[in-house]
Amino acid sequence: MVAKVIDGKEIAKKKRQEIASEVRALKEENIFPGLAVVLVGNNHASKTYVNNKEKACREAGIESFLIALPEEVSQEELLREIAELNKREDVHGILVQLPLPDHIEEKKVIEAISPEKDVDGFHPLNIGRMMTGQDSFLPCTPYGVMVMLEETGIEVSGKHVVIVGRSNIVGKPAGQLFLNKNATVTYCHSRTKDLEYHTKQADIVVAALGKPNFIRSNHIKEGATVIDVGINRDEHEKLCGDVHPEVAEKAAYLTPVPGGVGPMTITMLLFNTLKAARQSKALSKA
């Protein structure tokens, strides 16, 4: 068996075309979707992500506003900047690029963003709504994973899903989204005893632990679907995921790195921004 590749690039391309079409329709009603990205400091990876987001916004017709702040900016100043963005009618979505410098409390910054503009889906109110199955902004990477599976025709309901990783950004919300779709979910992490025992029972394995090529063929059962969320560098500085290439010989479906989950993350950010603009239109008519 050789795994079928779940092509995130192609799925993202299709979804972005749909988003661009809806953005054009909103503009005809004089609503111009806008995303503000706040970048603190000079982290190279963060700058790259922000550049990719700006490019994706341009291609979708979404207005992009970059607020670049120095590394030494105070927490109070950053919170004031967010408060101003919360008030701006031309800004429908706000994203603060993580990680932040050590002197700034990430939790306070996330909670300062208006839940109606929280297109990253990290605000406790949106997380709570997601947990209880209400309409909310969903975290972009787990949301992208769900869309990939749906577009590929992989059924989730009734399946056993094992999430390897428990971060607030990917692992925890991914498990909840699968649960909301009637999957049976097992969370595994650094303290899990006998990881292989758990992952070998899974119909779907989501690897989100941040360790290069960690998941091997002995970790999965024949015919499983494997979603690789990791973005790492191996010992040769080559880009790789959390899943070893040998898994392709045992899995039925596998996402590549690069070109798998990555393009979907930014796509769902665009979708959330479009959704926020639509909701602002509904509020203005109310």
Q: Which residues pair with 184 in a beta bridge?
A: 160
Q: Is 191 annotated as a binding residue?
A: no
Find, among 242, 241, 226, the residue nearest to 3 by Cα. 226
Q: Is 166 annotated as a binding residue?
A: yes
- Which residue is catalytic, options 15, 118, 120, 159? 120
Q: Is 167 annotated as a binding residue?
A: yes
Q: Which residues pair with 60 in a beta bridge?
A: none
C-alpha count within 13 angstroms, C-beta hemisphere, residue 208: 26
DSSP character at residue 7 = -
What spatial distance separates the first Cα and last Cα of the chain, rounded to whole Å?
Answer: 56
Q: Is 114 annotated as a binding residue?
A: no
For 4, list phi and psi in degrees, rounded to 5: -75, 135
Clarify whether 97 is annotated catalytic: yes
- Which residue is catalytic, options 97, 118, 172, 203? 97
Asked if residue 53 lies in contact with residue 269, where contact means CB atoms within 8 angstroms, the answer is: yes
Helix 261-285 vs helix 8-27: crossing angle, to nearest 10: 20
Clarify whether 200 is annotated catalytic: no
Distances (CA, A) of 86 to 79, 93, 248: 10, 9, 45
Clarify whether 107 is annotated catalytic: no
- Which residue is catalytic, options 15, 53, 159, 275? 53
The beta-strand segments (E) located in 143-199 are: 160-164, 184-188
Active site residues: 53, 97, 120
Numbered residues of the known binding site for NADP(+): 165-167, 231
